[in-house]
Structure 1
């Protein structure tokens, strides 16, 4: 595909999106019925709002979901401390709730507009951002092109390029170059991510490390933690967290294999998507296991096999109940989930081999001795059994993981240095405006 055809394709994408715009209402309404949209704020997805733009410079920060929102929260804090207004957009209901909890009314939160020209244009016409900061791998063609057309600098921070995405973009190299040339700067998580962005036409590219390392450990309700610890007592525990379809059953089979070797064993299963909880509960109960569902405040009794963590925002609670955690989305070829939160909370980490999306973090944890990859459910059962049986080995892994996280910190500082040429002129602009008033 030539460069000319790539640009024609992108223009066609924009035209097709504009033509489809009147038809997307049904789709957004359907998502609302599934709890994936806030029905009171659907209009924000079309770029509409009842919030006024504040006077002075505005920086638009976008974080797609919970993980990205957690990653950019310290960055947003740092920007706010400079006296610049921030409009933070997210794409999910859960990430919106997290933004409210962590940042409150210090920011203006909006749901990100659909990547269709009428919605993006309306959003940009209203907010008139002086700078756009996008987190991780949010590559939306219409948004990128419209920002470029308006000459609004766009910086990708904590940039990540998965194996799958890189191969896909390589097949459309001219499209990638036509898009990525609009980025004013890419701040990548790792050297490998940086090389991939450069290969696809992004300039300039720097490497910061992972912003998720610089966040605080996930918080906990101390009262709830104390109550659950009292219910669990001295029972041995292990957890399977951020699990995806099929991995909960593997965790249940590990429990069934080990409960005779470790009397009183309690397994904690925390699905990545709690809306699957009813189906999971039925599946696990059909295996003859007794569950306590956190969403129902069910008490953990001596004969409880599984604590099902089917709530949002309580990962800090579940991880503090154990010293061993399997991190999901990794036994199938899906890319893995973030292992940094378990490492921050002094947890020995296990995962499947498919952790491409967090390759750099896992590589450092494995090299330090803080994490181990397993091939399948049988190997997972063996690893959990070994760690439950060997306190010294378990604590060595826990300490190694925590130390690895400490050594990985510093991404926030490096990201702020990369952003300085874009933010400093806004601070001067704000000072001049204030002086004029």
Structure 2
């Protein structure tokens, strides 16, 4: 009954959903394409194999080591990866080209999810992190498809939201066959929402199993060498309302370190142009990555307006600020700069990666700031004290290495479900 009510509400809201899609297409035209896939038609499906759902860019990147291992261990099983956003789609194609199938996940209506599952006929469904939909899980279970929640995370804030609609989500959580959860605290939250204790294992985060790409490191070294000996800091995955604070901080950094270069990487490509306009309005000489131009010694900002190059751009920097944390977005993946040995700065909003950021902070690899002034002070301190910055970066690398192994535990659990 609860799922029927949910489906009815979803149907009534579909005009608003489609209007929102059109609105988003104004800034990101890719949202206006491939609509048929959102209604379970078309798409590059590879039936009879492994289905992985990675909602957007972050989940797609996190799933990459898992997908590569699945390709090696089960070469007879085709893999299809679904997502929800054009940026996620672009990232999947960049990571895997045509080695995997790829499609947008349909809207969560019973008929659409049923048609999707019937067309795909997966041996197993693997959902990255917490991208769960009631009708999706129900239709997969009705078709006898084992459902795994991989690298599962659930902040206290998200758990409170789920508890408000417990009448809807508890049957969904209870239907999961296996949950590979990142931490003990998150396991308790999942249990309160209906996940069976015997169907859950604390595996840690597969994001710790990140292995920096040597080719990206080499590319970064070439790019960095063209900039000379100047100090470089990066503000990565920034959001609206955050770029202004980062640029204000960079102005203060330049007072103490006049030759400093900022790499600014907005989280969403539809904001690349607006970020460039903010830089220009701030009176800072700018070079865009997409232009292919060489950074001159007078340039003060390098805009990372490209997709799939974040790790390469991190590798160009001496200090990393992780965005989504000076605004109430919850932070992004702190392990990417940590794996590269960079000292890390974060704003106060880091609830999406609370446990990971606390580990790094406890090791001395991460500093928290609250605004442009404290951000500038943290950047200057590490740029002017490279030995201390190196120690902090090395501590972060140690945290990453000490917590690896989640990927192997996840693969073992998936193997049990495929038997």
Select 1:85's aligned residue among 78, 84, 92: 78
How far residue 156 of structure 1 moved from its aligned partner, in angstroms, is 0.7
- Which stretches in structure 1 are left out of the alignment for 5+ residues? 1-7, 425-437
Please show how residues 25-424 of structure 1 align to structure 2 within 5 Å: 28=21, 31-32=24-25, 34-35=27-28, 37=30, 41-49=34-42, 53-54=46-47, 57-80=48-71, 81-82=73-74, 83-203=76-196, 204-217=199-212, 225-226=220-221, 228-424=223-419
Q: Hey, what's the Cα distance between the residues in 2 that align with 1:149 and 1:299?
A: 57
Counterpart contact for 1:343–1:398, Cα < 8 Å: yes
Counterpart contact for 1:18–1:118, Cα < 8 Å: no
Counterpart contact for 1:60–1:88, Cα < 8 Å: yes
The DSSP-based 3-state class of the residue aligned with 1:101 is helix
Q: Hey, what's the Cα distance between the residues in 2 that align with 1:85 and 1:418?
A: 19
How far residue 185 of structure 1 moved from its aligned partner, in angstroms, is 1.4
Counterpart contact for 2:45–2:101, Cα < 8 Å: no
Match of 1:432 in 2: none
Counterpart contact for 1:14–1:116, Cα < 8 Å: yes
Q: Hey, what's the Cα distance between the residues in 2 that align with 1:253 and 1:19?
A: 45
How far residue 140 of structure 1 moved from its aligned partner, in angstroms, is 1.1
Q: Hey, what's the Cα distance between the residues in 2 that align with 1:128 and 1:366?
A: 45
Distance 1:157 1:323, change over 3 A: same
Counterpart contact for 2:83–2:89, Cα < 8 Å: yes
- Which stretches in structure 2 are left out of the alignment for 5+ residues? none
How far residue 52 of structure 1 moved from its aligned partner, in angstroms, is 6.5
How far residue 97 of structure 1 moved from its aligned partner, in angstroms, is 2.5
Counterpart contact for 2:45–2:80, Cα < 8 Å: no
Q: Hey, what's the Cα distance between the residues in 2 that align with 1:93 and 1:322?
A: 28
Q: Hey, what's the Cα distance between the residues in 2 that align with 1:286 and 1:20?
A: 40
Please say if 1:11 is aligned against 2:41: no
How far residue 18 of structure 1 moved from its aligned partner, in angstroms, is 5.0
Distance 1:51 1:278, change over 3 A: closer
Distance 1:51 1:225, change over 3 A: closer
* Length-normalised TM-score, structure 2: 0.92
Q: Hey, what's the Cα distance between the residues in 2 that align with 1:154 and 1:183?
A: 5
1:258-277 superposed Cα distances (whole Å, 9 cap, x missing partner): 21321311111111113212
The DSSP-based 3-state class of the residue aligned with 2:226 is helix
- Indicate the larger mover: 30-39 or 146-155: 30-39
Counterpart contact for 1:36–1:93, Cα < 8 Å: no
Distance 1:300 1:177, change over 3 A: same
Counterpart contact for 2:21–2:31, Cα < 8 Å: no
How far residue 257 of structure 1 moved from its aligned partner, in angstroms, is 1.2
Q: Hey, what's the Cα distance between the residues in 1 that align with 2:275 and 2:115?
A: 42
1:173-226 superposed Cα distances (whole Å, 9 cap, x missing partner): 332312211111111111111110001111122111111222322565578535
1:16-70 superposed Cα distances (whole Å, 9 cap, x missing partner): 445666996666555555436465533211111265654xx42211111111111
How far residue 149 of structure 1 moved from its aligned partner, in angstroms, is 2.9
Counterpart contact for 2:156–2:189, Cα < 8 Å: no
Q: Hey, what's the Cα distance between the residues in 2 that align with 1:235 and 1:341?
A: 23
Structure ID, larger Rg:
1
